[in-house]
A and B are shown apart, each in its own frame.
Chain A
Amino acid sequence: DTAVSQTPKYLVTQMGNDKSIKCEQNLGHDTMYWYKQDSKKFLKIMFSYNNKELIINETVPNRFSPKSPDKAHLNLHINSLELGDSAVYFCASSQRGNRETQYFGPGTRLLVL
């Protein structure tokens, strides 16, 4: 009964590959997010979707493409992986208008070799 789940938990891949990370929430929230945490623990938002509509798109390379098939799922596809993409990626969800409901997933640790 995990609230926000992500798969995979770990991802090790070669430079230049394409990979996807999946996120699902069972909280009934209408807004989902992707955050990136770098090696210095700095957390930064990448994208946000509300009811499958993109509402926040920070300055992120075009190689990153989020997709929301429904409001319970938000996936992140990364093309042509680079060494600098190595980080922990967190999915989060909330109910729009209620910021105190923003819950984070356990993270996906991506290592690009």
Chain B
Amino acid sequence: QQQVKQSPQSLIVQKGGISIINCAYENTAFDYFPWYQQFPGKGPALLIAIRPDVSEKKEGRFTISFNKSAKQFSLHIMDSQPGDSATYFCAPSTGFGNEKLTFGTGTRLTIIP
């Protein structure tokens, strides 16, 4: 069973546009909501993360929006650049002592000039 679902599966955005990736989860015990970025041939790397006590977090061009009641969170990439082309994963986790990440299905983002 898939506890964490991402959409879309793939996304093509023009340079300078806004990329939006969504993540829906079922486990209400999740209390840490990160997004990971993975380039081809590399391991995933933490991009940005949010905790459930806030609804939005912004770091540079990257913003997470969190909707606890809907059990969804999303990644917004403003002014998307070709260097942002990668696969993005949401990977929520539960509390201390069980810090495994439950990865979403992944979104392949391509930024075209």
Contact = CB atoms under 8 A, between A and B. Distances in A.
Asked if A and B bind, the verdict is yes
Contact of B44 (A45, A56, A104): A104
Given A90-B44, A100-B49, A45 B100 contact: yes
Interface of B: 32, 34, 41-46, 49, 87, 89, 91, 93, 96-103, 105-106, 108
A48 interface: yes
Contacts of B98: 55-56
Interface SS, A side: strand
Interface SS, B side: loop
Interface string A77-100: 000000000000010101011011
A99 B43 contact: no
Given A56-B98, A94-B99, A97-B96, A106 B42 contact: yes
Contacts of B91: 43
Interface of A: 4, 31, 33, 35, 41-45, 48, 55-56, 90, 92, 94, 96-97, 99-100, 102-107
